[in-house]
Amino acid sequence: MRVLVTGGAGFIGSEIVRTLTSAGHEAVVLDALLPSAHGGAADRPDSGIIVADVRDREAVDRALRGIDAVCHQAAMVGLGKDFADAPLYVGCNDLGTAVLLAAAAGAGVRNLVLAGSMVVYGEGRYECPLHGPVRPGPRAEADLAEGRFEPLCPSCGTELTPGLVGEDAPVDPRNVYATTKLAQEHLAASWTRATGGRAVSLRYHNVYGPGMPRDTPYAGVASFFRSSLARGESPQVFEDGAQRRDFVHVRDVAAANAVALEAVGGLRPGSFAAYNTGSGEPHTIGEMAAELASAHGGPAPRITGEYRLGDVRHVTADSRRLREELGWKPTMGFAEGMAEFAAAPQRDMAASPAR
């Protein structure tokens, strides 16, 4: 199979390229290779790269020649610094996806795997002992400022119990990045209906592993903590550290993309499917920070009580559907993965949003 991997020189994209190549596929990489987003020549694929922005229609048309499927990873990631980043996120993530899909429609390419995200759900799944499954609204800033971090039942005010989020959960994006990731899925679904294409969105949970960028406000929490440890500083854990997440290793995410690329061509024309992509082992952010710091040899994390508006309290994946329907299974355990990550190099770069 000949696969176009957008953002294929980035953290996740480069691992996908390695996985596809090892499986005997040909990967063609389209990446802007912004100097601030790539740590040097060592991060770049050896061959088959087209240096261009995904919003460049002429370059995308050229990249799609002879392509069987597209693996779309190019995106701005993370919460960013503030709302002033909104035009950049929308331009890169949504306009970029629209340009790519329009070009694919013209080129006759009909198979797509999209880098989705768990952030489309907003808060995760919650149970109230009195009212059963409930959907809490955004947490009030006054509560956060007073250290009241747990979502409460909107009917009775009881503290809720978090659970696993399935793909049938309602979507509720609560920041600009989340909104753009949901818009990407809507664009992909519209493209399948208009062209008879087939698309799969892999809703990544918290991806970590070797090659994560360092010292950038656009990276994930695992990168923040690893960067702090590399500087000899304690990881700064927001809130009380009890936020639940699913940390999934980058090689497992790359394997999920390879499986999805094999499967997408067998879907019914005009269909779109979303799959949670997580390890299946929820952990708190405090646990992750402690495990990473211990494996690195310290210093120990510090719980700060700080918070960010737009952050959700708990969101953890139910990834059974991906396992049962596509046969994917993560192989990297939490402790093993954190031990590897604690000793692995990161990408040195200026603060950059590019994957």
Active site residues: 177
Sign of CA dihedral 188, 192, 197, 199: positive
> Residue 318 is encoded by which pair of tokens?
């139910």
Pairing of strands 198-204, 271-277: parallel
330: Cβ contacts below 8 Å, ≥ 6 apart: 248, 249, 252, 255, 278, 279, 280, 319
What stretch of H or E contains 138? none
Which residue, 119, 302, 332, is CA-closest to 210?
332
From its phi and psi, is residue 349 left (phi > 0), alpha (psi between -120 and 50) or beta? beta
Residue 147: burial class (beta carbons within 10 Å; 0-12, 13-18, 19+): exposed
Q: β-pairing, 125-128 with 132-134?
A: antiparallel
Element (H, E) at 166: none
